[in-house]
Structure 1
Amino acid sequence: MNQSNPKRIAIFCSGSGSNAQKIMEHFQENDFGKVVLLLANTPKAYALERAKALNVETFVFSRTDFYQTDAVLEQLRRVEADVLVLAGFLWLVPSNLIAAFPQRIINIHPALLPKFGGKGMYGHHVHEAVKAAAETESGMTIHLIDQEYDKGQVLFQAKCSIAATDTPEDIGAKVLRLEHAHFAPTIEAYLKQM
């Protein structure tokens, strides 16, 4: 790969954006990638503040923008995005984006897929389901996306053990530590093989 031409990354978020921040920081001094845009589906997403603090351009879009127009795709083309990263993004990605970025949309899921995946399985819902199932381990999965929730090719998984006394919040904290440690390096590894 030509290191003078890093891959251009666009991050999608719906909430706080702690994973997005780790990714933006990772690629600030990196030859393989550069975060060029953070997109959020709500103006209240704290991820927008994190992006502004790191001098990353932001774009807020509505459900109509995402599903009924090409507004989001036009923004991605404008910044010449090579790769899309879903970092706590809760909407199913529409087919026009999947077609425009085949095998170039990376998602993170707070469980060991294929367990605890699918529609409605996000955030605390996942950790509550893991607890209710009396699992002895959980973790996170980084994967490419396709037309179904949480079904694409797995790029990386990391596990953590769960104690019987762990609450869903405890499980969530353990999983988030794994996400922070592994998401950006896994994206970088994927960019290197593109």
Structure 2
Amino acid sequence: MKKIVLFASGNGSNAENIIIHFKNSNQGTVVGVFSNNLHAKVLDRAKSQAVPTFTFTKSELNEGKVLEELQKIQPDLIVLAGFLLKFPESIIAKFPDKIINVHPALLPKYGGKGMYGRHVHQAVLENNEKETGITIHFVNEHYDEGEFIFQKAVSIENCQSADEIALKIHELEMEHFPKVIESLIE
């Protein structure tokens, strides 16, 4: 049984979807949810699914405490599901090709520092894009530059707001993210 660890900073609907997807799986299970936000809803979602949680500060992330906890668990895959901090190179080096992220756009467009959530959707809207989508990629030392694993596009020609775009992206994430994770741990 493969061990999956999730990192999230906010609401946690993607994380919860992944937890539920793997609840009855014989391939993998979510063994922990890590968050840098003590008040993140993802912590409540994880606890309601009986998944252990671990909270930390930005300095604990960068100074090795999080790496220590991960080395105790030895996850087969680390999944960033709405995690807003830059992942430290020290963790990336210890878990090469075992850390993935979902980005709410078709990279390489609309990636990089500060490009997350609503910021991405607003930029897509302001540039009058006809489509956008999701990119699931490996995490490296640069924001949103790791090797692509999966992309899925969706038409946004009828979208009038960043919120409408966000709903379409969320649907793609909910449908595809757990399946891509499953394919990686098989």
What is the TM-score normalised by the length of structure 1? 0.94
Q: Determine which of 73, 90, 95 is the counterpart of 1:79.
A: 73
| AA matched with 1:7 | K
Distance 1:181 1:88 in 2: 16
Q: 2: CA distance between counterparts of 1:11 and 1:62?
A: 16
Q: Distance in 1 between matches of 2:33 and 2:52?
A: 6
How many residues are matched? 186
2:145 equivalent in structure 1: 151
Map Cα deviations across residues 4-59 of structure 1 (whole Å, 9 max, x no partner): xx110110000000000010001111121110010000101100000000000000
What whole-Å deviation, never above 9, does each CA across 1:127-159 have from its counterpart, x for those lacking one? 000000000001101110100000011111111
| Cα offset, 1:164, TM superposition | 4.7
- Which residue is equivalent to 1:61? 56
Rounded to whole Å, the distance in 2 between the matches of 1:129 and 1:54 is 35
How much identity, in percent, do the aligned residues show? 45
Q: Which runs of structure 1 show a deviation greater than 4 angstroms over 4 or more consecutive aligned residues?
A: none
1:96 pairs, out of 69, 74, 90, with 90
Match of 1:36 in 2: 31
Conserved? CA contact 2:159–2:165, under 8 Å? no
Structure 2 CA distance for aligned equivalents of residues 165 and 183 of structure 1:
23
Alpha-carbon distance in structure 2 between the residues aligned to 1:79 and 1:189: 21
Q: Matches of residues 114-193 of structure 1 in structure 2 within 5 Å? A: 114-192=108-186
In 2, Cα distance between equivalents of 1:38 and 1:95: 20
How big is the shift at 1:166? 2.3
Q: Distance in 2 between matches of 1:44 and 1:187?
A: 26
Counterpart position of 1:3: none
Q: 1:47 aligns with which of 42, 47, 51?
A: 42
Query: Normalising to structure 2: TM-score of the pair?
Result: 0.98
1:21 aligns with 2:11: no
Q: Judging changes above 3 Å, is the alpha-carbon distance between structure 1 residues 108 and 165 closer, same or farther for their aligned structure 2 residues?
A: closer
Larger CA deviation: 143-152 vs 163-172: 163-172
* Aligned mates of 2:24, 2:158 — CA distance in 1: 41
Q: How far apart in 2 are the matches of 1:10 and 1:165?
A: 34
Q: Which ranges of structure 1 fall in alignment gaps of 5 or more residues?
A: 1-5
Query: Which residue is 2:5 aligned to?
Result: 10
Amino acid at match of 1:116: Y
| Equivalent residue letter for 2:112 | G
- Structure 1 position 73, deviation (Å): 1.1
